[in-house]
Amino acid sequence: MKYTKMLSYKLKKALPAIGMMGSMLMTTSCEQEKDDYENQQKTIELTFGVWDSHNIVKILPDGTRTVSDTIIKYANDPTIKTIYLVTNDDWSGCTHPTITAIRVNGVEHPINYSSKVRGKGDFNFRLGEASRVPEDSLWFVRNGWTINKNR
């Protein structure tokens, strides 16, 4: 009689402990799969400059601008997590109308096309010009770029 009481008491403690260990193992394996998937996804960097934006924007025969085929290809690829548009030029000659034109005619198309597209890098606009178009300046910063970071 004592033997069964002792055995049932030990089983009452052992079963929940075994159940908790099993659930912890299951949680770890799910997190492992998620981490593996995120590690398999790639990030792409596409550079553009003042006179070189062909890999982010395409000009159609009628003069309108649209997203480049490169952006479309990368945005539809499930293995790519983020597409960064990286500035690689000197923007110090840009005045406030040019800043608006860069946004409207250039980088706004790819940013609006896919949530995978983000900005990266610094626009070193002429001092004081970015503050003359605050809505454009804020748009650049919200989408990942910096403005006059080193000044």
Contacts of 114 (CB under 8 A, 6+ apart): 71, 75, 83
Instruction: Reply yes or no on whether the pLDDT at 43 is more than 80.
Output: yes
pLDDT at 33 over 70: no
Whole-number Å distance between alpha carbons of 82 and 89: 22
pLDDT in tens, 49-60: 988 888 899 999
pLDDT at 46 over 90: yes
Range 32-43 average pLDDT? 67
Which DSSP string do the residues of 77-140 spell out, in sequence order? Answer: -TTEEEEEEEE-S--TT--HHHHHHHIIIIIHHHHHH-TTEEEESEE-PPTTTGGGSHHHHHHH
CA angle 58, 61, 67 (to 5 degrees): 20
Q: Is 62 helix (H, G, I), strand (E, B) or coil?
A: coil
**Residues in CB range of 124: below 8 A, 6 or more apart:** 90, 91, 92, 148, 149, 150, 151
Residue 129, number of CB atoms within 10 A of its CB: 20
**Tens digits of residue pLDDT in 91-103:** 999 999 999 999 9
